[in-house]
């Protein structure tokens, strides 16, 4: 399994050429094996970007998100008590709460995180792909 950061989800759906070479390969391979995932908080982040006009898509958020998940073959991983606890602990570097939850999701599932976010790629103990 790999977990995709929010921007990786967006790039995969709308601008695949913006994915790093290793990220594109990992996503493609995980999609074929049915082991492609994202944190549920990423759906909220995408809806917020659409609401603020920072992400323009010709579909309402509910339709776009449903198409992104089903069409992309993503499993949505929920926030669990252990993910919530790790996201607030010293295991995850301080920063954006959504990023902390995404990193904690990858850590709890023992999965690499597809991201180019430097704050996450520098996170000790978190394997990243880009």
The full set of domain ranges for the chain reads 2-129
Any idea which residue has 């509910």 for tokens? 62
**Helix 21-33, helix 6-14: angle, nearest 10:** 80
pLDDT in tens, the chain (130 residues): 999 999 999 999 999 999 999 999 999 999 999 999 999 999 999 999 999 999 999 999 999 999 999 999 999 999 999 999 999 999 998 889 999 999 999 999 999 999 999 999 999 899 999 9
The fourth-level CATH superfamily of domain 2-129 is 5'-nuclease (3.40.50.1010)
pTM, rounded to two decimals = 0.95
Residue closest to 68 by CA, chosen among 91, 99, 100, 46: 46
């Amino acid at each position: 399994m790999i977990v995709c950061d929010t921007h990786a989800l967006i790039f995969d759906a709308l601008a695949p050429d913006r994915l790093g070479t290793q990220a594109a390969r990992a996503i493609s391979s995980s999609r074929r094996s049915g082991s492609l995932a994202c944190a549920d908080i990423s759906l909220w982040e995408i809806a917020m970007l659409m609401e603020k006009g920072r992400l323009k898509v010709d579909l309402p958020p509910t339709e776009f998100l449903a198409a992104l998940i089903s069409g992309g073959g993503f499993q949505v991983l929920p926030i669990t008590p252990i993910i919530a606890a790790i996201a607030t602990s010293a295991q995850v570097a301080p920063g954006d709460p959504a990023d902390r939850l995404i990193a904690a999701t990858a850590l709890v599932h023992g999965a690499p995180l597809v991201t180019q976010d430097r704050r996450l790629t520098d996170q000790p103990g978190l394997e990243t792909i880009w």
